[in-house]
Structure 1
Amino acid sequence: MAAALHPQLLTDLRSGFAGELLTPGDGEYDSARVVFNAMIDRHPQLIAQCANPADVAAAIAFGREQGLEIAVRAGGHAVSGVSVNDGLVVDLRRMNSVVVDPEAGVARVAGGATMSDFDRATQPYGLAVTGGRDSSTGVAGLTLGGGSGWLERKYGLACDNLLAAKLVTADGELLAVDEDRHPELFWALHGGGGNFGVATELTFRLHELPTVTIAMLLWQPESGPTVLRHYVDYMATAPDEVGGAFVYFTGPPEEFVPAGLVGRLTAALLLTYAGGEQAGRDVFRPMLGYGHAGEMIAELPYADFQCMLDDPPGERNYWSAEYLNGFPGAAADLFCGRAAEMVVPSASMHAVFPQGGAVARGGDHPVPWRAAPWAVHPFGVWEDPADDARGRQWAHDVCADLQPWSIGAVYLNFIGDEGAERVAAGLGTGNARRLVAVKSAYDPENVFHLNHNIVPA
């Protein structure tokens, strides 16, 4: 345990600080220090709840002057649960404004905003952009890591829609970044994560999307291999408007499913369509004839859909992923066979996501996994620490089974700390030298290293 910060130092920092500074013993400290993933328990010396970019710069300067390790918390949804013992947490969650310009079709999003903040602001205008798969996901962390979500086949990844950013560097400088200003840094922000500074504002291109249509189809788990095969064939010719997932999960309450699936392992297909219900039903028709035991088909605002599969904070999380060059029957059998080993009942999901479409057509960004047509995502969420070893092993075994079809690249937002080799796989070996050069230019002392880290030269 490091020595407590001298009261006079905190008094000096508070002068001109618009947000709140919390230290151990303060009434709101314990709630503020808790991270999304209950597996992680940290006790920082100082939590700087910033209200504006000047606060961010002041907090970083203070942390560096005092020799404190610095963690950055934006939306706070990451499985890695970045925090620090004895150091400083720069907390952006008070900075959650979203300003929409419907005429220009853009939105400016503050660095601590969640997808719920973003979607609720754009929905009244019938506009949207690819978010994550959970309304509590932080916009900044999602986007800087690439940004996979339900709308990606139609509108590309979140980072593909990033037009500009404002960033506070390790030296406390506020930079405006886009294709013309700091172009190499702007490129690195499309997948390089929080390695280069603290994003205090992101500007996005928006797309017209008044509503989405979803179909949730449910089967007994033993039907999974057959359904997954049909789904793989279906997605080979599905239009870009179609997304979704094949997933095993714990059956929801009986108002949604037959009693035989309540609280039990269930195979499900979630189909999403960027548009209205009639067109969605027409497109979904090839998947509606395989004897499902329960269904829900609905047209609803995108913001409402984003809330449906929220991952609750405060539970224990362990996630991993593999990106595949195809999904033959042998892979489907292996994937489905591992479903019996997940923690049930729990909020865990044993998921397969289709890619392709606008994801595959995306730009020159450090996103080496975009070429894969399929992503497998063992998403472990449970309450009891006694399930930790089992949950981790399940995720590891799923990924090991699918190695024969893996492209080697991985979406870093889908994994926690899996070592330097996995970080390299997430950034792309061909991008390594270029990313290191950007890191060396903007954070040569590696102040921002509590992340999937790029080590400066």
Structure 2
Amino acid sequence: MGKLAIDGLRERVRGAVVTPGDDSYDEARAVNNAMIDKKPAAVVRCANAGDVMAAVDFARENGLDLAVRGGGHSVPGFGTCDDGVVADLSGMRGVRVDPAGRRARAEGGATWGDFNAATYAFGLATTGGIISTTGVGGLTLGGGIGYLCRGLGLSCDNLVSADVVTADGRMVVASEEENADLFWALRGGGGNFGAVTSFEFRLSPVKDVYGGPMLFELDDAATVLRSFAEYIADAPEQLGGFPAFQLAPPLPFIPEDRHGQPFVLVVGCWSGPLEQGEEAFRAFHDFAPVVAEHVGPMPYPALNSAFDALVPPGLQHYWKANFVTELSDAAIEAHLVHGPRLPVVNSTVHIYPINGACHRVAPDATAFAYRDASFATVLAGMWPDAADNEANTAWVRDYYEAVAPHSEEGGYINFMAEDDQSRIRANYKGNYDRLAQVKRTYDPGNLFHMNQNVKPAA
């Protein structure tokens, strides 16, 4: 791609266009997963929707790969590409709240930290993940699992409308009233259908919550997992959270001689009346003796960011995922073999409950199809040293092979690795063919293919 072409792109956009040789190039091309070392021809640091349209047009007109980056958390590194164009939306982070209408509109590069900070002031929230540095866009387009989903549904269930730049460079609105087929596909179909420059969400009254982590001995792990699965099946829907395997970080509430040791955790979030929080957590205490805990009232944004320090930019990432209908004894046994072998404190295993309000949406009402699954499991391999890549990737793969026979065929696309492309149809079950038809309508040339890719119908 010649200098004249790049100069032409620079004339079309408000934001900076960063190319190889520029001082900021290495910073501009970096994503959170340090395993990813791709070298795009140009990174467009979009300042507005017009810049996104120009970046899309430029990639299409020049036959280049196009990557769209929001929060940059994509484990497979879909927010960048070799020799192509990156539309970097991370400078577009505005959030506007309408407290009377209980709505919020977030720009395409906003993080959940940005979103929660804006809505908390009004005592409002929507379902928004576990790590606050995660992008609003990527999480929502893949479905959106978080602390509040049992009561409020997935992030995509709370999406009211979206502004989308399609493959032909047009800006369209997707909602139940406009481009309804596109709106259906965006809610769980990932980044296959366009670059979303803003998201409008329905908000609910949530401000301060009662929550935090509780650590149990590994000897009690089977009891904790089994008890959690039984309890959460019909627990009050204001109760969110998940069981996990985790090496104890060096935090003051954990006995110093236990730092770095493996535990089974329950991280809870009660979003009902605060005075009922302690009672809501009583069942967790009944599972087994608690070794350490840090629970109590806190702002919802504080809980949503509590684990950010364990996931800084620059770690090596390799993840696997499955949906689970029943956390069976055989599945628990597989977890007991592999969960305690966590390689470092950054790695973790979470088993997210996705029942309650998530189950009240029909499997064909949105692209997110696994409305009968009870849990979404993520095996999140994260570590700082690239020298450990082979061994730690093997830990994730071995773990996945052990739990897969006790899980559904598909998994949550936001937790998928780059080598999971063969699972795309399974991830969408009966919705895949409809997604392929929508893809043919809005992106027949598959310009938006840097993702867990749905190919256009023939």
* TM-score, normalising length: structure 1: 0.95
Instruction: Please tell me whether residue 348 in structure 1 is matched to residue 333 in structure 2.
Output: no
Q: What are structure 1's unaligned runs of at least 5 residues?
A: none
Question: How big is each residue's C-alpha offset from its partner over 1:389-435, in whole Å with a ceiling of 9 and x where there is no partner?
Answer: 2222222222222233322221100112233331112222x112211
Matched residue, 1:378: 379
Question: How big is each residue's C-alpha offset from its partner over 1:46-79, in whole Å with a ceiling of 9 and x where there is no partner?
Answer: 0001111111111111222222211111121111
Q: Please give the residue correspondences for 1:198-277 in structure 2 after superposition, counting only pairs within 5 Å.
A: 198-277=195-274
Partner-residue secondary structure (3-state), 2:190: coil
Partner-residue secondary structure (3-state), 1:402: helix
Higher deviation after alignment, 5-14 or 95-104: 5-14
Matched residue, 1:308: 306
User: 1:138/1:215 Cα in 2 relative to 1: closer, same or farther (>3 Å)?
Assistant: closer
Higher deviation after alignment, 346-355 or 86-95: 346-355
CA apart distance, 1:136: 0.8
Cα distance in 2 for residues equivalent to 1:370 and 1:421: 21
Contact 1:128–1:207 (CA under 8 A) maintained in structure 2 = yes
Structure 1 stretches of 4+ moved >6 Å: none
User: 1:280/1:76 Cα in 2 relative to 1: closer, same or farther (>3 Å)?
Assistant: same
User: 1:6/1:235 Cα in 2 relative to 1: closer, same or farther (>3 Å)?
Assistant: same
Task: Give the residue type in structure 2 aligned to 1:354.
Answer: P
Match 1:27 to one of 23, 32, 36: 23
Contact 1:276–1:299 (CA under 8 A) maintained in structure 2 = no
Contact 1:251–1:264 (CA under 8 A) maintained in structure 2 = yes
Matched residue, 1:72: 68
Contact 1:277–1:298 (CA under 8 A) maintained in structure 2 = no
CA apart distance, 1:276: 4.1
Question: How big is each residue's C-alpha offset from its partner over 1:152-190, in whole Å with a ceiling of 9 and x where there is no partner?
Answer: 001000000011011011111000111111111110011
Cα distance in 2 for residues equivalent to 1:330 and 1:419: 24
Instruction: Please tell me whether residue 10 in structure 1 is matched to residue 6 in structure 2.
Output: yes
Cα distance in 2 for residues equivalent to 1:156 and 1:351: 18
CA apart distance, 1:446: 0.6
Match 2:134 to one of 137, 140, 157: 137
Partner-residue secondary structure (3-state), 1:177: strand
Partner-residue secondary structure (3-state), 2:414: helix
Cα distance in 2 for residues equivalent to 1:375 and 1:18: 41
CA apart distance, 1:319: 1.0
Matched residue, 1:361: 360
CA apart distance, 1:341: 2.6
Matched residue, 2:392: 391
CA apart distance, 1:26: 1.2
Instruction: Please tell me whether residue 108 in structure 1 is matched to residue 108 in structure 2.
Output: no
CA apart distance, 1:360: 1.1
Percent identity of the aligned residues? 40
Contact 1:220–1:261 (CA under 8 A) maintained in structure 2 = no
Task: Give the residue type in structure 2 aligned to 1:59.
Answer: A
Q: Please give the residue correspondences for 1:110-125 in structure 2 after superposition, counting only pairs within 5 Å.
A: 110-125=107-122
Matched residue, 1:452: 452
Task: Give the residue type in structure 2 aligned to 1:362.
Answer: V
Aligned residues: 451
Q: What are structure 2's unaligned runs of at least 5 residues?
A: none
Cα distance in 2 for residues equivalent to 1:255 and 1:420: 42
Higher deviation after alignment, 275-284 or 183-192: 275-284
Higher deviation after alignment, 132-141 or 65-74: 65-74
Cα distance in 1 for residues equivalent to 2:269 and 2:107: 28
Question: How big is each residue's C-alpha offset from its partner over 1:88-133, in whole Å with a ceiling of 9 and x where there is no partner?
Answer: 1111111111110000000111111111111111010000000011
Matched residue, 1:420: 421
Task: Give the residue type in structure 1 aligned to 2:179.
Answer: H
Cα distance in 2 for residues equivalent to 1:404 and 1:29: 44
CA apart distance, 1:254: 4.3
Contact 2:40–2:81 (CA under 8 A) maintained in structure 1 = yes
Cα distance in 1 for residues equivalent to 2:40 and 2:252: 44
Q: Please give the residue correspondences for 1:52-71 in structure 2 after superposition, counting only pairs within 5 Å.
A: 52-71=48-67
Higher deviation after alignment, 49-58 or 8-17: 8-17
Task: Give the residue type in structure 1 aligned to 2:401.
Answer: A
Task: Give the residue type in structure 2 aligned to 1:177.
Answer: A
Task: Give the residue type in structure 1 aligned to 2:325.
Answer: N
Cα distance in 2 for residues equivalent to 1:120 and 1:340: 35
Partner-residue secondary structure (3-state), 2:249: coil
Cα distance in 2 for residues equivalent to 1:358 and 1:296: 27
Contact 1:169–1:443 (CA under 8 A) maintained in structure 2 = yes
Contact 2:233–2:355 (CA under 8 A) maintained in structure 1 = no
Partner-residue secondary structure (3-state), 1:303: helix
Cα distance in 2 for residues equivalent to 1:237 and 1:360: 12
Cα distance in 2 for residues equivalent to 1:177 and 1:372: 27
Match 1:150 to one of 147, 152, 159: 147
Cα distance in 2 for residues equivalent to 1:221 and 1:14: 57
Task: Give the residue type in structure 1 aligned to 2:443.
Answer: D
CA apart distance, 1:16: 4.1
CA apart distance, 1:201: 0.8
* TM-score, normalising length: structure 2: 0.95
Higher deviation after alignment, 445-454 or 229-238: 229-238
Partner-residue secondary structure (3-state), 1:99: strand
Task: Give the residue type in structure 1 aligned to 2:167.
Answer: A
Cα distance in 2 for residues equivalent to 1:230 and 1:113: 37
Contact 1:211–1:275 (CA under 8 A) maintained in structure 2 = no
Cα distance in 1 for residues equivalent to 2:251 and 2:167: 52
CA apart distance, 1:278: 2.6
Cα distance in 2 for residues equivalent to 1:375 and 1:202: 24
Contact 1:246–1:353 (CA under 8 A) maintained in structure 2 = yes
Task: Give the residue type in structure 2 aligned to 1:412.
Answer: I
CA apart distance, 1:266: 2.0
Task: Give the residue type in structure 1 aligned to 2:293.
Answer: E
Higher deviation after alignment, 183-192 or 6-15: 6-15
Task: Give the residue type in structure 1 aligned to 2:64.
Answer: L
